[in-house]
């Protein structure tokens, strides 16, 4: 919802700035730009629509546009100088036919395109969890802190506070089984429930699967105690490339093209991660050449744009030395030249921090000295087990 008056220079600028930000930061989702019809005359609204559906400077597109009218589709209707029906008819004409409101051709919506596929729906890699926190006595736990816990390791993945009805939700979870717990004294044992997360599905918190009661066995003859169980590493499945990516977009552009799976590591253990990017632009990436060389940079939200990560780096800015080009440059393009429609497989090393928990590393491709390329919300989840 980007509600700005186009006739005011500062709001015109803010509208364009928010458009750019939204298009360039969609975080594995899809953005439709919403403008305020009721604040603008029709010519201004058409101008805002054109800018909303145009690509950003980095070449990223919103998935569409949404017009908010509150039953007043233009400023004249809002002022009471004409009816909403007339204003609406004029707006539709201005968007779909040549008119005095728009000097550009063809009209913004001269055709009726199909709704584009959304990879986060058509090729999901994460699932979601919702539930209602209920005390042992059946009353709702409102405004209560609850935790998402990986049951095999006991590692706390996320924490959230329930709303005024006891409802809570966790989004973008790797597939697997999780428990939800709380420190509330109103829950005996502290466990609210359990759920298995499936890709692309919203799972509902259910009852915890009880542990099987062991069958009594005779007391064995004492033997030498076995070695204690040691922490063991596991690697999740790789994430396949999408069925279709952009191609031939003018300038420097990149499309995410798959990645290796998420790792569960022991403290201090290292792992190699791989992510592929397809060169969807018309310009190639040339190694060791400022303004043309492609890197992966650290990005939002964790650790933040150009910030150091606890998972890797070059030893500067408090980062561990895992062989990255710099503390905020995760990897450089692996070959000297990556031309349009070619794929670069970026590889880098991560190391598990000493404290058990769940850590994230967000990355985004860029051409050093030129521009950041598309942000697909790519990140690594590293789970560190207790030793």
CA distance linking residue 214 with residue 220, whole number of Å: 15
8-state DSSP, 39: G
| Nearest partner of 306 among 324, 283, 279, judged by Cα | 324
Q: Let me know if residue 111 belongs to a domain.
A: yes
The CATH number given to whatever domain includes residue 238 is: 2.60.40.10
Compute the radius of gyration of the chain from its Cα atoms. Answer: 26
Rounded to 5 degrees, what angle do the CA atoms 317, 276, 266 make?
A: 55
| 241 shares its domain with 293 | yes
Beta bridge partners of 2: 35
At residue 18, the 3 state secondary structure works out as helix
pLDDT at 31: 92
pLDDT tens sequence across 323-380: 999 999 999 999 999 999 999 999 999 999 999 888 999 999 999 999 999 877 788 8
Contact 271, 265 (CB under 8 A): yes
Report yes or no: 376 and 28 within 8 Å, Cβ to Cβ. Answer: yes
Domain span holding position 246 = 234-384
67, 97, 116: which is the final residue of a domain?
116
Examine the pLDDT at 93 and tell me if it is beyond 80.
Answer: yes
Residue 224 has pLDDT above 80, yes or no: no
Do 90 and 151 share a structural domain?
Answer: no
Tell me: do 376 and 331 sit in the same domain: yes
Mean pLDDT of 194-217: 75
Q: Is the domain of 191 the same as that of 298? A: no
Q: What are phi and psi of 346, to 5 degrees?
A: -75, 135
> Residue 4 domain-assigned?
no
- Domain membership flag for residue 210: no
pLDDT reported for residue 209:
63
Domain count of the chain?
Answer: 3
Task: Verify that 136 and 69 share a domain, yes or no.
Answer: no
What is the predicted pLDDT for the residue at 29? 82
Report the C-alpha gap between 243 and 348 in whole angstroms. Answer: 25
Domain identity same for 188 and 326: no
CA angle at residue 327 from 324 to 332, to 5 degrees? 40
Task: Tell me which residue of 267, 255, 295, 304 sits closest to 123, measured CA to CA.
Answer: 255
Tokens representing 219 are 């007391």
Q: Is the pLDDT of residue 39 over 60?
A: yes
- Alpha-carbon span 126 to 130, nearest angstrom: 14
- Asked if residue 253 has pLDDT above 50, the reply is yes
- To which H or E segment does residue 230 belong? none
Q: Is residue 275 part of a domain?
A: yes
Taking the whole predicted model, whether its pTM rises above 0.85 is answered as no
Q: Say if residue 257 is in the same domain as residue 197.
A: no
Domain end (from 116, 143, 175):
116
**CA-based end-to-end distance of the chain:** 48
Q: What is the pLDDT of residue 51?
A: 96
Three-class DSSP category at 257: strand
Chain-centroid distance of CA 355 in Å reads: 25
pLDDT tens for each residue of 138-196: 999 999 999 998 887 677 878 999 999 999 999 988 778 899 999 999 999 999 999 99
Half-sphere exposure for 290 (CA within 13 Å, toward CB): 1
159 lies in some domain: yes
What residues are paired with 180 via a beta bridge?
Answer: 148, 193
Classify residue 123 by burial, with Cβ atoms within 10 Å: 0-12, 13-18, 19+: middle
Single out the residue in 116, 145, 161 at which a domain terminates. 116
Least confident segment among 145-149, 209-213, 252-256, 268-272: 209-213
**Same domain (yes/no): 136, 264:** no
Tally Cβ neighbours within 10 Å of residue 44: 21
Of 189, 361, 166, residue with least CA distance to 259: 361
Same domain, 272 and 375: yes
């Amino acid at each position: 919802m980007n509600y700005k008056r186009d006739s005011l220079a500062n709001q015109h600028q803010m509208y364009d700035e928010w458009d750019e930000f939204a298009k360039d930061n969609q975080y594995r989702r899809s953005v439709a730009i919403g403008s305020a019809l009721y604040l603008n005359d029709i010519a201004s609204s058409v101008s805002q629509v054109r800018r909303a559906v145009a690509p950003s400077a980095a070449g990223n597109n919103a998935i569409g546009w949404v017009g908010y009218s509150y039953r007043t589709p233009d400023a004249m209707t809002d002022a009471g100088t004409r009816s909403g029906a007339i204003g609406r008819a004029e707006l539709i004409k201005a968007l779909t036919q040549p008119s005095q409101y728009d000097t550009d051709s063809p009209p913004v919506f001269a055709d009726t395109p199909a709704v584009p596929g959304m990879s986060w729906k058509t090729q999901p890699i994460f699932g979601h969890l919702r539930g209602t926190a209920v005390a042992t006595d059946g009353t709702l736990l409102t405004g209560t802190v609850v935790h998402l816990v990986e049951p095999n390791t006991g590692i706390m993945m996320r924490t959230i506070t329930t709303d005024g009805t006891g409802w809570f939700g966790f989004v973008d979870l790797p597939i697997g089984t999780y428990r939800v717990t709380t420190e509330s004294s109103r829950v005996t044992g502290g466990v609210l429930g359990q759920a298995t997360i499936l890709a692309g599905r919203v799972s509902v918190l259910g009852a915890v699967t009880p542990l099987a009661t062991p069958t009594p066995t005779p007391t064995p003859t004492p033997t030498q105690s076995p070695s204690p169980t040691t922490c063991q590493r596991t690697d999740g499945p790789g994430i396949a490339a999408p069925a279709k990516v952009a191609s031939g977009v003018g300038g420097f552009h990149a499309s995410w093209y798959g990645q290796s799976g998420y790792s569960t590591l022991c403290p201090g253990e290292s792992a190699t991660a791989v992510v592929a990017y397809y060169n969807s632009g018309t310009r190639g990436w040339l190694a060791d050449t400022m303004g043309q060389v492609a890197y992966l940079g650290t990005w939002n939200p964790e650790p933040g744009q150009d910030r150091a990560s606890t998972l890797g780096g070059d030893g500067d800015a408090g980062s561990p030395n895992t062989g990255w080009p710099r503390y905020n440059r995760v990897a450089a393009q692996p070959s000297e030249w990556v031309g349009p429609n070619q794929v670069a497989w970026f590889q880098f090393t991560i190391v598990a921090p000493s404290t058990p928990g769940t850590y994230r590393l967000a990355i985004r491709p860029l051409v050093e000295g030129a521009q950041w390329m598309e942000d697909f919300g790519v990140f690594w989840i590293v789970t560190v087990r207790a030793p």
